[in-house]
Structure 1
């Protein structure tokens, strides 16, 4: 099986290429190029009539375990063997990640016939693989150091897992790397990554330009991924049809094992190269649309409520979570009004009528006054409400569970105009290095409170508060 690229700069047969030479080196190193790797090498290493590389920037976005590192190795080796005093540089999201990739590359070269022409120094922080015929050196640099490459010359700079960088961090990398390539004829910047998250603004911008063929004549772009309109993100046949290593170095068992052990949205990102969220949306439209339902909660099913207040406290919304007849969890809007004074009394009424397994409100959010009002009422009146504890750990879990449920098809939402608008308006922020949904109002004035309330309700359904009395059955509404 040879999965076709969904986007790829085409080969121009008017120009010769070093792709064949790189393929021979790959075979010598024990990792013959797969068809997708050979395609990239043939195009990316085209040279003009002067023997200069036609592309100064090569962007490759591909699934995990596709073999991007085994493509990198012979590219480095070829340049190291053919360009005098070539500067070959490698970086990644963490310096240690880059050092590990450097070590794997050095191992592969030393385990091949090329071992006779290299010298290795592995001192931590001073890693260097020197190609003795040319004096070229393969080294590691810190991506986010503004002075890491100052005073250096670069013939190849390889940035691995670019999804880990924001646009601002990407600018730091470019400011450090690009000037070092200015005096080196045929220098290339390789940027390789799997799809990222909403925080991956640097990579996302490059992908958008690459897909639209707007990168410029000196940029080669390649992407292997499952389609954006994939309806069933659990269908392994879809992943297999678009993963370029399946049938070569990977089989279906590896996909099944990964799916069984990973969160659904992370599996879609890693093995489908699928953007579940991006700078354009916190939840991919196809994911949200695919989770739509018009069914009501199953009779007798437990229910949980979540409440959220707009960032400017102009209004609030209450959502419910329950279980559908087919066993899926589902969320729906219960009520939304201006102001917030109505929310605590309404939640008390709902709790009395439906005996929920949890009522979830983030006390550190704009809905804090509602949370305090319920807690005070319980204290003064002795009326118990299953008010859930909710802090940063629960915030992180609830975001992951909500996105994971939508992606895996285990969570549905009852169609509602306000909920749809809230999802479209919802942005993201970063908490403890994890991307979570933001409550900030969108540019058009739409607030995401309904989506956040739905997320809280879903969290409550998944994590019931120990109840002091038996829960009653409930119908939605």
Structure 2
């Protein structure tokens, strides 16, 4: 007789893909044409998944004046999940619902554009209600298009430096958006300048480095919006991806996603369990290299930034002019600690007076965070600073309890308003030439790539959306602020009988 204890345990059910994107920003809208687009697609035999419907609902949001809330709509999702269905639904809506006179569909490769043309041709010609509205289907190579009796045209192009010139598109559909640079944008964007209510859609998968410059710009804007809590005013962005582990992650880290976890596969693939099987993804992982699997299936991309190295906030000449290799901070000093969002680097900064100016310096800057508290203890014993400053809302906030325990002092934790004040004061000090530094490379590199993010009516240093480590800059900014912050001095202890005199 077989014991119940010997029976095999029931296999865990395969996960189903997340229908909500991991990274998303959408401008506010009053109404949407999304539901009508979904219903039209169903009429043509195209049944959309919930995540595809979500994109249409939010991407086709309209303002009170009837214009699109999002001038640009970007969909970043791993391959074979169904972005083609989103494209087809948007093009059907443009032709048959929205009255758009010209829709331009372009792809990096001509063969991709042709495949898309044939798919939507089949949808339209296979639906009697839509087919009867078609005037002609042009199949001449390079002239592929669908024209309606009412004048609307959907045209298919392969991207090149000159494609799209001479056309005025109400809507541009840019497939394979991970291969999209300045030349293509320069050719296509001006076509929309004279259109009363234009819209552009980017659809692709994870960035592949240099060719993904435009997708990188869009993604940076989305990350800035997510971090600030304020939606981008003209961009709707949807990304399915994982937040992968980094080198410094400890065993059992639950802040990042494991590439071998089916739950991570579901987070990055909305069609998992619908048109992509867990078994297939598991086989892909066995066959692909880790980096390729992460990019192609988990949405982990390489995105260039054209802002790094441009000194967009503080000019390089202005910063270099304040370098003083002989400067040293005088007592009292203030220290600050900052950590990158992925916790791969940490920095300790110091500030102190130096003549009529404020001296700022990066005391230490190393990989990881395991060294920070011990180094802080050594600095504290040597310098006896007036204050330690750490942004509790930032990545370094997790170090505060251990710091206070080891240093025996209360760490000052600036509020959002005070952090913005610190950034503004740092900027003003540079402009007024009231700051000196040692011209250290980590600080110069951080400033070269630094950008602002809105923080209420003020601004602060942007942590995300830049491809440089700004922890040295944040550390010296908060250290300088710490020189002037009010701190409560401990009350002097007196003998009990003294208090009654």
TM-score bucket (shorter structure): 0.5 to 0.7
Report the Cα offset of residue 254 of structure 1.
2.9
| CA–CA distance in structure 2, aligned partners of residues 206 and 93 of structure 1 | 18
For 1:242, which of 253, 257, 268 is the aligned residue? 268
The yes-or-no answer on 1:273 pairing with 2:299 is yes
Q: In the alignment, does 2:127 pair up with 1:112?
A: yes
Within-5 A mapping of 1:212-227? 212-213=224-225, 216-227=232-243
Q: In the alignment, what sits opposite 1:255?
A: 281
**Alignment-derived partner of residue 51 in structure 2:** 36
SS in 2 for 1:164: coil
Matches of 1:27 and 1:9, distance apart in 2: 27
Q: Which residue of 2 aligns with 1:139?
A: 155
Are 2:127 and 1:101 equivalent residues in the alignment? no
Q: State how 1:306-385 maps to structure 2 within 5 Å.
A: none
Per-residue CA deviation, residues 35-54 of structure 1 (Å, 9 max, x unaligned), is 11111111110112332211
Task: Give, in whole Å, the separation in 2 of the partners of 1:137 and 1:178.
Answer: 18
1:264 is aligned to: 290
Deviation at 1:208, TM superposition (A): 1.7
Which structure has the bigger radius of gyration? Answer: 2
Alignment-derived partner of residue 106 in structure 2: 91
Q: Which runs of 5+ in 2 are unaligned?
A: 1-15, 246-255, 306-339, 345-441, 446-467, 470-501
Question: Whole-Å Cα distance in 2 between the matches of residues 17 and 30 of structure 1?
Answer: 22
Closer, same or farther: CA 142–63 of 1 in aligned 2, 3 Å: same
Q: Which residue of 2 aligns with 1:386?
A: none
TM superposition score normalised by structure 2: 0.52
1-structure distance, mates of 2:277, 2:205: 19
Question: Cα deviation per residue 1:168-219 (whole Å; 9 max; x = unaligned)?
Answer: xx22222222221122222111011111222223322321221111884111
Query: How far apart are 1:84 and its partner, in Å?
Result: 4.5
How far apart are the structure 1 equivalents of 2:304 and 2:65?
41
User: 2 CA distance for matches of 1:15 and 1:248?
Assistant: 32
Shift of 1:73: 0.7
Q: Does 1:211 align with 2:223?
A: yes
Equivalents in 2 of 1:219, 1:231: separation in Å? 27
Give the SS at the match of 1:102.
Answer: helix
Match of 2:89 among 61, 71, 74: 74
Q: Is the 8 A contact 1:11 1:42 kept in 2?
A: no
Task: Name the TM-score, length of structure 1 as normaliser.
Answer: 0.54
Q: Distance in 1 between matches of 2:284 and 2:215?
A: 24
Asked if 2 retains the 8 angstrom alpha-carbon contact of 1:228 and 1:286, the reply is no
Kindly tell me: are residues 8 and 231 of structure 1, through their superposed partners in 2, closer, same or farther at Cα, counting changes over 3 Å?
closer
Change in 2 beyond 3 A, CA 1:47/1:157:
same
Give the structure 2 partner of residue 124 of structure 1: 141
1:460 corresponds in structure 2 to none
Which residue of structure 2 aligns with residue 383 of structure 1?
none
Distance of aligned partners of 1:264 and 1:115 in 2 relative to their CA distance in 1, 3 Å threshold: farther
Task: Supply the distance in 2 between the matched residues of 1:25 and 1:144 (Cα, whole angstroms).
Answer: 32
Asked if 1 retains the 8 angstrom alpha-carbon contact of 2:171 and 2:198, the reply is yes
Alpha-carbon distance between aligned partners in 2 of 1:260 and 1:122, rounded to the nearest angstrom: 41
1:188 matched to 2:204: no
Q: Is the 8 A contact 1:85 1:135 kept in 2?
A: no
SS in 2 for 1:33: coil
- CA deviation after TM superposition for structure 1 residue 278, in Å: 4.1
Q: 1: distance between equivalents of 2:342 and 2:139?
A: 46
Q: Contact conserved, 1:231 with 1:287, CA < 8 A, in 2? A: no
Aligned length: 283
Task: Return the alpha-carbon distance in structure 2 between the equivalents of residues 286 and 262 of structure 1.
Answer: 28
Residue 19 of structure 1 corresponds to: 34
Q: Return the alpha-carbon distance in structure 1 between the equivalents of residues 263 and 138 of structure 2.
A: 44
* SS at 2:217 equivalent: helix
Report the secondary structure of 1:50's partner residue: coil
SS in 2 for 1:272: coil
Cα-to-partner distance string for 1:221-252 (whole Å, 9 max, x where unaligned): 11111113345323333112331112333221
Question: How many Å apart are 1:89 and its aligned residue?
Answer: 0.8
Is the Cα–Cα contact under 8 Å of residues 174 and 202 in structure 2 kept in the other structure? yes
Offset at residue 68 of structure 1 (A): 0.8
- Asked whether 1:50 is paired with 2:76, we answer no
C-alpha change, 1:279 and 1:56, in structure 2 (3 Å) is closer
Extract unaligned runs of 5+ from structure 1.
Answer: 290-420, 425-442, 445-477
What is the match of residue 62 of structure 1? 77
